[in-house]
Amino acid sequence: MRFVALCLCFLSWTASALRAETSAASVQPQWNHITVESMKTSIYIGSVRLATGVFERNGGNFSTTYDARVVPWFFWSEAGTITLFLNDVEWTKLARGERTDFKGEAMNEKKKPRHVTGWAQPADRTSGKIKVRVMADGIELIFNGTYKLGS
């Protein structure tokens, strides 16, 4: 009788562990697009406006084009591509409503690399705040904005 009770307890524990794994896996949403509103930051005697296209999912990466306009120093303006790297752990944190850090890289039209880091803080299931740091020629540009997830 004790053996049967022990087996039932073990089976119950195994089933609950499997349910927990399944629900944790289903927490990760299958978003395929990220829209980031245009962002602006100040620099010494000027400003930079960063506009991106809609980020498209490719595996764990999201890529799009960007356009950075520097006022009044228009000759420092540039355009290029930007990719953000988000792994399964970061997606799960985002889905749970937790702040998520990310890394990325950008390449301007002259093939100059730009290091990208930042974080996203959900406000609800599909949108929130985002902070993006771009290192460009030894200058760190910090942009604050909002994002929206879409399928």
Q: What average pLDDT does the segment 23-49 reach?
A: 81
CA distance 107 to 97: 30
- Decide which of 117 and 25 is more confident: 117
Nearest to 84 by CA among 66, 60, 68: 60
pTM of the model: 0.78
Most confident range (mean pLDDT) of 21-25, 93-97, 107-111 is: 107-111
Quick one: residue 59, left, alpha or beta (phi over 0 = left, psi -120 to 50 = alpha)? left
Q: Which uninterrupted H or E stretch holds 101? A: strand 100-108
- Contact 132/39 with Cβ under 8 angstroms? yes
- DSSP assigned state of 91: H
Continuous H helices in 52-113: 88-95
Nearest to 145 by CA among 33, 48, 70: 48
148: its two tokens? 């929206």
Q: Each residue of 47-104: pLDDT tens digit?
A: 999 999 999 998 889 999 999 999 999 999 999 999 999 888 888 888 889 999 999 9
* % of residues, the chain, pLDDT over 90: 65
Range of lowest pLDDT (2-6, 59-63, 95-99, 135-139): 2-6
pLDDT of residue 29: 56
